[in-house]
Chain A
Amino acid sequence: DQQVKQNSPSLSVQEGRISILNCDYTNSMFDYFLWYKKYPAEGPTFLISISSIKDKNEDGRFTVFLNKSAKHLSLHIVPSQPGDSAVYFCAASALSGGSNYKLTFGKGTLLTVNP
């Protein structure tokens, strides 16, 4: 049972345009959501996160939106740059779960930003 789903394996956008990456989840216990970026041969790097008490969090060119009723979140990158080309993983956790903490990841979306 896949609790975090990224239904688009890949996305291609032009430099300067907006990139929108989507993620759906099924577990109502999830209360904290994160996006990680991963380049080949490197570990995932934390990008941005959002708590379930918010519906938007912004950090520079990156904005994450959360729609709890739809169990859906999205990552917007504006403007997109070629250096943003990477695999983006959506992850969810139950922060209120205390010491038993783990991230549940989606399978990732490969973003390609064309110059």
Chain B
Amino acid sequence: KAGVTQTPRYLIKTRGQQVTLSCSPISGHRSVSWYQQTPGQGLQFLFEYFSETQRNKGNFPGRFSGRQFSNSRSEMNVSTLELGDSALYLCASRRLAGGFTGELFFGEGSRLTVL
């Protein structure tokens, strides 16, 4: 069974640009969450999508947004990039039927560097 797939794995942008990251969840998983990992803050929750709807949102500015498609694939977008947005962006999926047991399954992440 294929895991969570994130693209691109690495990217470099400059301040003021925007970026779009993509995530394909594990087959059958309908919920997708996004987390930001930085050395100083650890992993912080960005948002969760289920059935193409944002169900939960963390404490990030409106420059961070996302969406989910009917096939459960998700994208997140960061506009007007700042240096502090440099981070590893992790996508995670979970199943919602058949007894959810609490764990999220993470992809390998997209490493964003803002210059």
Contact = CB atoms under 8 A, between A and B. Distances in A.
B43 A44 contact: yes
Given A99-B96, A101-B31, A105-B35, 12 more contacts: A42-B109, A44-B43, A44-B90, A51-B102, A93-B102, A95-B102, A100-B56, A101-B100, A102-B56, A106-B42, A107-B41, A108-B42
Contacts of A108: 42
A102 B83 CA distance: 26
B108 A42 contact: yes
A43 B106 contact: yes
B70 interface: no
A104 B45 contact: yes
Interface of A: 32, 34, 36, 41-46, 49, 51, 89, 91, 93, 95, 99-108
Interface in B7-47: 31, 33, 35, 41-45
11 contacts: A43-B4, A43-B92, A43-B109, A45-B106, A46-B103, A89-B42, A95-B102, A102-B56, A103-B35, A105-B35, A105-B44
Which DSSP category, helix, strand, loop or mixed, fits chain B's interface?
A: strand
Q: How large is the interface on B (under 10, 10 to 19, 20 to 34, 35 or more residues)?
A: 20 to 34
Nearest to B103: A46
B107 A43 contact: yes
A102 B106 contact: no
Nearest to B43: A105
A32 B102 contact: yes
Contacts of B42: 89, 105-108
A41 B50 contact: no
A41 B10 CA distance: 10
B114 to A, nearest CB: 19
A89 to B, nearest CB: 7
B98 to A, nearest CB: 15
B104 A46 contact: yes
Closest 10 CB pairs of A and B: A43-B106, A107-B42, A105-B43, A46-B103, A102-B45, A100-B56, A32-B102, A43-B108, A44-B106, A43-B107
